[in-house]
Structure 1
Amino acid sequence: METTLIPAGTVLVGLDGSASSERALDWAIDHAVREHRQLTLVHGLEPMHEHSEAREILRHAREHCHGVAPGLAVHEALWTADPRAVLHQLGTGAATVVVGSHGRGPVRSLLLGSVGLSVTRHAPCPVVVVRPYHPGVVRNGVLVHAGERSRPVVEYAYRQAALRDLPLTILRSPDDALGVAEAVAGLSEKFPEVRTRTVSGDVAHESARMDLVVVGSDDAGVVGHAQCPVAVVPLGVAASPA
């Protein structure tokens, strides 16, 4: 695996040439620009597989990046290894890992699909799974599932709402009012520009009209049911400054 091309604090996006990875690339470009970070394009290559297609996927992605965000610094990385180990290793130095929700198969799509979803529970940095969603639906901003031990998750959600100038909906469990209060304490003062509301409900249902859902790694199972991009945040990770 090549690691010399991966700068610290980068936004990593997994690519395999599928429509799902193209959606992930667009999301990652926008996120990197908003966070003032560099972008790294990552492609998983099968052992003994021809490199020409991999190079073409990365070339196409790089050209797309330059067309959409000409000032964005873009890097590339090819690797051949177990996807879980690679994602964990790359994520250690990354700010965010972005993957699509459906790839081109269990082998060719090493960072995407079911494998990508499985690593959201263990990645050392936030992982965004870009779920398919209807672009014509009016959306209501960022949704975060708050509760006991969710302070870093809620702070990450506040930051994303602030970066995107979106309202924040805090989803609470009916029996965990104290946990929610602890999770949000002081964040309104830290992010005064973010408009908030608190509701009870189901993450999957509420996600139908959201731009982004933010959950902790202990809630990663909702990724498979959400109807918009989902950010899975390790419980020990706080929102980092731009």
Structure 2
Amino acid sequence: MTPTVCTGSVIVAYDSSGHATRAVEWGLAQAALENRPVDVVHTLDLARLPSEAWLGISGDAMPLVERLRAECTATMKAVVATAHLAHPDVEVRLHVLEGDPRQVLVGLSGSAYLLVLGSHGRGPVLSALLGSVSAAVTRASSCPVVVVRPPRGGAPRPGGSGVVVGVDGSVESGPVIEFAFSQASAHALPLTVVHVIRDVVAASVGDRPYPVLEEREEAHLLIAESVAGMAEKFPDVPVTRRLELGLLDQVLEREAQSWDLAVVGRRRHDAWHRLVVGSTTLAVLEHAHGPVAVVPEAPTPGS
């Protein structure tokens, strides 16, 4: 069953955990900032229920489903009510749907502005709903996906280092850079643009002297070209450009202070690129100490 969601809304996945509660709070704050409605979605994956759970004492499965739906709705209302106190003007609707959460969320992404998921604080996204689900959704979503990671140490922080975005200079990465600029502008935060040279090579060659001078010069030019148009479009955003060596998740991990938002791209290429880029994205999701936005890149010309 497909719900009627508002086109251009912020969709928040809810799974009755504290991690999803954090996602609801982040999603409502984002929606308030951008004047968008919010659809909070909980998915009942009935195929995962034990077969004996379908039939109660009465032998009727429907009361069980209706009870689960009612319990989920009540829990969602309580969590949303608390978050809504800080953003009372945001239009919020609740949906309890049946089906595989990965398929449901990816299907909803076609009309959404943004999908927001919660994440466990240990390891590669271990929440019951948002484990394999987060990987599948970030890989296949039609819209940007924000995975709300807990801050460093698990304690709330007054603020981070702004927005950071990883760039590779490709034409396809344009939507990623624009999303990072738009978020920095909306939140009145500085933006740091990071280009990592030879990230895959650096992981295997250790201390070999990369990059050479010519490569560094080319990379600086690439970064400048990548942000030139967006800097003109968003003149209010202070921009810092950085050239790094290593893997993107390692670069972000060694920062002393968490970022308010980290933005990475999801490329639509062949199997090799899916392997490399997918691994990088998941590594960033695992090690980040704050929200991570995974933005679909533009289709490769000719694809």
Calculate the TM-score normalised by the size of structure 1: 0.87
Find the partner of 1:171 among 164, 175, 194: 194
Distance 1:118 1:223 in 2: 13
Alignment equivalent of 1:224, drawn from 257, 261, 286:
286
Aligned equivalents of 1:2 and 1:160: distance in 2? 29
Which of the numbers 140, 147, 158 marks the counterpart of 2:168?
147
Match of 1:78 among 65, 82, 96: 96
Report % sequence identity. Answer: 38
Gaps of 5+ in 1: 238-242
Which of the pair has more CA radius of gyration? 2
CA–CA separation in structure 1 for the residues paired with 2:31 and 2:159: 24
Q: Figure out how many residues of one structure are paired with residues of the other and give that number.
A: 232
Q: Contact (CA 8 Å) 2:261, 2:293: kept in 1 or not?
A: yes
Structure 2 partner of 1:93: 111
Measure, in 2, the Cα distance between the counterparts of 1:37 and 1:70. Answer: 13
Q: CA RMSD in A?
A: 2.3
Partner SS, residue 185 of structure 1: helix
Structure 1 residue 207, shift from structure 2 partner: 8.1
> What SS does the corresponding residue of 1:13 show, helix, strand or coil?
strand
Amino acid at match of 1:28: G
CA 1:71–1:136 in 2, change beyond 3 Å: closer, same or farther? closer
Conservation of the 8 A alpha-carbon contact between 2:73 and 2:94: no
- Cα distance in 1 between the residues matched to 2:265 and 2:253: 14
Deviation at 1:193, TM superposition (A): 0.5
Residues 102-135 of structure 1: per-residue CA shift (max 9 Å, x gap): 39xx9x943x233213321211000000001042
> Aligned partners of 2:72, 2:225: CA distance in 1, in Å?
47
Letter in 1 for 2:3: T
Q: Who is 2:208 aligned against?
A: none
Q: Does residue 1:182 correspond to 2:225, yes or no?
A: yes
d(CA) in 2 for partners of 1:186, 1:76: 39
Q: TM-score, normalised by structure 2?
A: 0.71
Give yes or no for contact 2:12–2:27 (8 Å, CA) kept in 1: yes
Whichever structure has more helix as a proportion of its residues is 2
Please state if 1:68 is matched with 2:67.
no
> Would you say the 8 A contact 1:208–1:226 is kept in 2?
no
* Per-residue deviation, 1:137: 6.6
Instruction: Judge conservation of contact 2:168–2:196 (CA < 8 Å) in 1.
Output: yes
- Runs of 5+ unmatched residues, structure 2: 47-53, 55-64, 198-214, 245-250, 267-276
Q: 1:235 matched to which residue of 2?
A: 297
- Give the distance between the partners of 1:10 and 1:189, measured in 2 at CA: 27
Matched, 1:210 2:262: no
Conserved 8 A contact 1:117-1:223: no
Q: Which residue of 1 aligns with 2:12?
A: 13
